[in-house]
Structure 1
Amino acid sequence: MRKLVYLLPILLIVFIGILSSIFIVDEREKALVLRFGRVVQVKTEPGLSFRLPFLDQVVSYDDRIISIDMEQQEVIPSDDRRLIVDAFARYRIEDVEQFREATGAGGVQAIAVADNRLEQILRATTREVLGSVRSDEILSADRAALMERIRSGAVGDASELGLTVVDVRLKRTDLPTENLAETFRRMVSEREREAEDERARGREAAQRIRAQADRTVVELVSEAEREARIIEGEADARRNNIFAEAFTQDQEFFQFYRSLEAYRKALQEDNTRLVLNPDHEFFDYLRSPSGAAAGQ
């Protein structure tokens, strides 16, 4: 009985010591085991772990992606147009041991220190990157390359804090209020100049098209006239051949036909007055068979 009285406190102390030596690492966290302020273990995998009771201290850090909203800042692009930039970033703690050394704290206080120092890094990198490009590139919808340059530029300094910068986003890029009117006027002038350039190129293209069309018309008309003359020549040659054949077959009928053609062309409705000798051969076929002119 007396032994049991001494044994129970010992068992109780052992039980408490065992409970004090066990700790759980959450899957959303990483942990450091400190002994007299020095890191003796780094726990990155979730589950049960052990420590020396009463001597070791466990400090946990968030292993999830953390967002940081940066304060608005003014940047001056390469074309000297001031812009107000609003951005945010996402990061996570990669090296917890280095993170503790850089921040000198744990828990929420360490996150606050990390946010402050990372924001300073990102603000400096943002001014450097956006200051090397024109404001048109910053204000355009396609600015993913600029955000990637800011993220890449901050990676080196962030790694010294034990952090990995996952992403950087420009939420808004606005002009200062006092510059809006001047900027809009300049934009209108630029668009008007671009429109006039387009109209000038259109007029030039129209002139080229009209000149080409006129040349094509001349070529087509010339070709048509040449073909028409060829056809007319062939027709005249064929007609002359027919006349020649008719003349050889019946010379009197041929002369009669040619005389009728001469009468048709000479005796028009508005031109029927002829001054000729009545015995002229032109009237041979207008005379009656008795030798007198027709109508006498």
Structure 2
Amino acid sequence: MRKTTFILPAIFVVLVVVLSSVFVVDEREKALVLQFGQIKSVKEDPGLAFKIPFIQEVVKYDDRILSLDTETIEVTPSDDRRLVVDAFARYRIADVVQFRQAVGVGGVRTAEDRLSGILNAQIREVLGADQVTSDTILSADRRALTNRIRDQARAEALSLGLDVVDVRLKQTNLPAQNLEATFARMRAEREREAADEIARGNEAAQRVRALADRTVVETQSEADRDANVTRGEADAERNGIFAEAYGADPEFFAFYRSLQAYETALEGSNSTLVMTPDSEFFEYFKNQGATGAN
């Protein structure tokens, strides 16, 4: 009975000591074994590990790629058009020993605060550099700029034991107070371009109309010229026929011309002639004229 009284507490103490000396490292983690705040060992491989109970402690850090969103800041590119920019970064704890020495007991929260400051400083430096305009930042070519931000931030973050994997710009907008002025300038530019297009269109239309008018005038002139030539030739031929007929029988020719005059004078249903009966116009209606014509 007396042995049992001593053995059970001893077993319990041994069990507590054994359990306190064993810890598990997950495959997604890295662990540091600390003794009075000093790093004694690093456990990066997954599985069981051991420490001195009650004297040493274990601190674990995430070994996966982590995400960090930066605060919104304003940058001024070389063309003096201010932009509101924020970014997000992907990073991982590359060196847990250096990470612990750099941030101490603050852990990931302290590291992210310092990394956010590094990223914002690099964003201002890269986007505010010479020959970097707002158009470049807002275009698809900004990937080269984010690569520069990533590389420069990575070089500084190594002192924290961090590896910056990637940096991307999430928002690149104009400040609210500048939007209306920018929209007004864009509208003015579009209206100027539209006016230029309209002016060029009117100029082209005038050229086409002038060419068409000239073509019409030339065509009509040529047609009038050809018509006058044809009309002159016809008149000459007609006069030749008349002259030949007159020469063959002057009296018949006079009679024919009188009939044409009667036909022209009496055209229409309301034609009225008022003249004396002995007028020469009716010479061939008289018996003597008709006998002479026969």
State how 1:161-200 maps to structure 2 within 5 Å: 161-165=160-164, 166-171=166-171, 173-175=173-175, 180=177, 184-185=180-181, 188=184, 191-192=187-188, 194-200=190-196
Q: Which residue of 2 aligns with 1:275?
A: none
Confirm whether residue 290 of structure 1 aligns to residue 291 of structure 2: yes
Q: Which residue of 1 aligns with 2:99?
A: 100
Going from structure 1 to structure 2, the CA distance change for 1:220 and 1:127 (only over 3 Å counts) comes to same
Q: Which residue of 1 aligns with 2:60?
A: 60
d(CA) in 1 for partners of 2:254, 2:289:
14
Q: 2:108 aligns with which of 111, 126, 130?
A: 111
Once the two structures are superposed, what CA deviation does each residue of 1:250-286 show, in whole Å capped at 9, x if it has no partner?
x98xx799958975999798xx9xxxxx99xxx99x9
Q: Which residue of 2 aligns with 1:216?
A: 212
d(CA) in 1 for partners of 2:139, 2:256:
89
d(CA) in 1 for partners of 2:156, 2:116:
11
Q: Which residue of 2 aligns with 1:156?
A: 155
Q: Is the 8 A contact 2:89 2:167 kept in 1?
A: yes
If each structure's helix is expressed as a fraction of its own residues, which one has the higher value? 2
d(CA) in 1 for partners of 2:211, 2:255:
46
Confirm whether residue 126 of structure 1 aligns to residue 123 of structure 2: yes
**Count of residues paired in the alignment:** 269
Q: Is the 8 A contact 1:98 1:161 kept in 2?
A: no
Partner SS, residue 291 of structure 1: helix
Going from structure 1 to structure 2, the CA distance change for 1:258 and 1:99 (only over 3 Å counts) comes to farther
> 1:15 Cα shift?
4.8
Going from structure 1 to structure 2, the CA distance change for 1:290 and 1:127 (only over 3 Å counts) comes to same
Q: 2:199 aligns with which of 203, 222, 231?
A: 203
Q: Which residue of 2 aligns with 1:79?
A: 79
d(CA) in 1 for partners of 2:262, 2:185:
76
Q: Is the 8 A contact 1:61 1:96 kept in 2?
A: no
d(CA) in 2 for partners of 1:292, 1:227:
43
Letter of the aligned partner of 2:122 in structure 1? T
Going from structure 1 to structure 2, the CA distance change for 1:155 and 1:100 (only over 3 Å counts) comes to closer
Once the two structures are superposed, what CA deviation does each residue of 1:142-189 show, in whole Å capped at 9, x if it has no partner?
68645555344423322442324344444474538xxx37x7457535
> 1:125 Cα shift?
1.0
Q: Which residue of 1 aligns with 2:22?
A: 22
d(CA) in 1 for partners of 2:66, 2:4:
54
In the alignment, structure 2 segments of 5+ residues that lack a partner are 268-272, 274-278
Q: Is the 8 A contact 2:25 2:43 kept in 1?
A: no
> 1:25 Cα shift?
2.7
Partner SS, residue 160 of structure 2: coil
Q: Which residue of 1 aligns with 2:270?
A: none
d(CA) in 1 for partners of 2:79, 2:110:
35
d(CA) in 1 for partners of 2:255, 2:180:
89
d(CA) in 2 for partners of 1:102, 1:264:
133
Percent identity, aligned pairs only, is: 27
> 1:215 Cα shift?
0.4
Going from structure 1 to structure 2, the CA distance change for 1:98 and 1:191 (only over 3 Å counts) comes to farther
Partner SS, residue 79 of structure 1: coil
State how 1:200-279 maps to structure 2 within 5 Å: 200-219=196-215, 222-223=218-219, 226=222, 259=257, 263=261
Going from structure 1 to structure 2, the CA distance change for 1:229 and 1:63 (only over 3 Å counts) comes to farther
Q: Which residue of 2 aligns with 1:90?
A: 89
Once the two structures are superposed, what CA deviation does each residue of 1:221-271 show, in whole Å capped at 9, x if it has no partner?
5347647866897899899999999xx9xx98xx799958975999798xx
Going from structure 1 to structure 2, the CA distance change for 1:134 and 1:174 (only over 3 Å counts) comes to same
Task: Provide the TM-score with structure 2 as the length reference.
Answer: 0.61
Task: Provide the TM-score with structure 1 as the length reference.
Answer: 0.60
Q: Is the 8 A contact 1:25 1:43 kept in 2?
A: yes
Q: Which residue of 2 aligns with 1:49?
A: 48
In the alignment, structure 1 segments of 5+ residues that lack a partner are 273-277
Going from structure 1 to structure 2, the CA distance change for 1:265 and 1:119 (only over 3 Å counts) comes to farther
Once the two structures are superposed, what CA deviation does each residue of 1:128-153 show, in whole Å capped at 9, x if it has no partner?
12313344665x58686455553444
Q: Is the 8 A contact 1:76 1:82 kept in 2?
A: yes
